[in-house]
Each structure stands twice: as structure tokens, then as C-alpha cells.
Structure 1
């Protein structure tokens, strides 16, 4: 397993979002190491994960903390409500070592099924909110309203994750006033990407420099979603 070192010049902040499907790949194997290999190749600064925990019981992590510590250059932001999970409702955040986290919090979300989001503010005041929105559009709309309604208008915020929306613009009405929605590309299904389910929204004052979808052979096998990345300034 290889740890990626910084290679970009004049670095902006690189955000990554990755629905890892509990580390179960398209070959049916649950392989946390393979997921971390995909992550290490993305040269990210902050990574939001979805489905990072198992669904049943105490929701144990799908990728062991000690493996993350040993095999990557990332720290797990403490967001879990217990000592077992990696995150909250499967949402976890990894931050490259050396990047200071000012605050971290969990966000309860409304909807027809249990959902939650996670919020991490870096020392420079930039807030990243990781989401995995509901399966029903009505729920997704109410969840985005809840997230946006809890923000300070002066905050610089990126909302990023699996937004579960197949439409191009419908369902994102809550973002229209204060955010710009971006779709780095088609990220689902990993074997044959046809939908841009994984997206990010940037508040005014943030600029998207570049963005894309990791379509490497390893990423196409490690989960049913491909990771998205975005360079933010």
C-alpha cells in the first residue's frame, strides 16, 4: 500500500468525496486496503466518506482506524457518537496530517429514513459539510434546507457528498440563493457511470479551480461509486 505525497504546485485545498459502500467492491470482496489505495492516489487534503460504517448494531467501521493510521497520511476527525463507528450515519471525514481542525459537529437531518450530515471547520475558517442525502427527493430538499438554515451567512462553506439526485437541477432549490452547485462528472455506477450523484456546492467567495472523477481501474472495482475531487480556493 502506497502513501501519496504532495506533488501539486501552488496548492489549493483539494476536497474529495467517496461513497465506499462499506468497503465492498464490485467483485463482492470487502477490502478496506483497496479503498485506502484509491484514497492515497487522490492527493487530497480533506476527504468526506459515505457508507464508512456498517449498517447494523453499533455500526462498526468498515475501514479500521488503525489501518487508516498506518497506511495513509490522514487523521480521522472525531465525529462518531460512540467508540465503534468511524463517523455519523456513515459519514466520516479524513484530514491530511498537519491540517488543523477547529471544530467538528454532527447534524441531525429530517426525512423518511435516518440520515445525518457532518461538519468540519478548519483553522482557516473554511467549513466542509459531508452529506449522504436521502433516497426521496422530498427528503433531500428538506435535508438541504436544514443544512443551509443552520449556517452563518458569513461562513465559507463547501457541501460535498453523495446527493442521490439523478436530475440536473431539480431538488437543489435550497442552495440557489447562497451556493453554486458543481458536478465534477458521472460517478455512478462505477462499472458504467451514467449519473452524477456525487456533487459539491460552494458558498459565495469560494472558487472552483478544477474538478474531476477518479476513473482508474482500481476505483472502478473498489466501490459502486467513483470518487470525485475538487480544488478549492
Structure 2
């Protein structure tokens, strides 16, 4: 049964990407840093605060909402993700007590040469086919981890936020090889679109880290209508 489900998911991802217009990072400049902002689902004021750390020029930003102590009764419980806590733990960040929001800015590792492509198709049946394709820079040593986040782009004034956000709605994180073995890349699969997410505002943001946690490459997709 599990094998059949996995096969169905793989076929769905390939089909979704083959039959729908792809949105990818083609033509977008490679970022120089990755900014991750974390807030607790308990903290409604954190969502509406104006003093949010802004992303410097050339930086990709994404917003995580961690499950709160109030559980399903937390003001932001509807958009909280368990993976947000896992990511914060990975970075060594702790939200507790009065610390309801934190940010982490990582410059991409110097040396260059890494190539990263992220792409997605249209949302169909509550899923969106997405992929990450990475080619490690010469001399880079693994193991590598690929991170592929489904984000909802919320302009200032949307859903009560006074600042633009890239809200993480789903996440895939897994070990990957230094180079893809096929045309689809190291990660390719359908990602669940949570209830309440607006499909037209969804993009994927991906990055690759090494065994020391350094970010080697990052990229964000853009559909044709949103390209600069």
C-alpha cells in the first residue's frame, strides 16, 4: 500500500510539472543571504508588529510560526507548523517566556560555484508539484541537506500583517547527493497545500546546507506574472 502511494505521489509530481506552466527561479539574481524570522503562535502582537527585521538587499526572507503553549487555542495556531520548531532547534534558537520572536540571518558560504534550481507547477487537488535541483561547487564536501519550503507571499496589509511576509506553509528537508541523478533533481514531489492558503500567492523557496549548517545556495521561484 505504501509503495503504491509513493508511486502515485511521484507520478503526480511529474504530471503536475509536465502539464502546467512551471514557476522557477530563472532570471532571478542569486541571493547572498537567508533571513529566517520566527514567532510563537501564542503571540498575536508579534504578527501585527511593525518593527520586524527587514531583509537586506540581496537576501531571501521567510517567516515561521511555531506551535505555542496554548496549542490549538493560540491566536496563530492555524498557520503554525511543527517543522518550524524543528528548524528553530536545528539553528539553536529558543522561543520561551518573553522571547516570542527571533530572527536568524545567514550569509551564503563564500566560494561560489553552487547551482540551485527550484520550481513548482499549479496547485491541483490540494497539492502542488515542486522540485529542487542542486549541483555542488567544486571541492565541496557533503553530506548536504536540501530544504524546500512552500511559502505564501503576504503583501503588507494582508491578513493583518503590516509588513510583507513569506509564510512557510509546508516543508521538505532531507539528505541529498552532490549532484542530481536524473532530470527532475534531488527533491521532487507533491506538497500539500494547507487549508486557508491562497494558491495564487504560493511559491517555493529552497536552500542547501552542508554538514556544518552553512547555506551553500538559496533560490526562490517566481511565476511569470510576478517576475521583475
Normalising by structure 2, we get a TM-score of 0.27
- Structure with greater Cα Rg: 2
Q: Whose relative contact order is higher, 1 or 2, with alpha carbons under 8 Å and at least 6 apart? A: 2
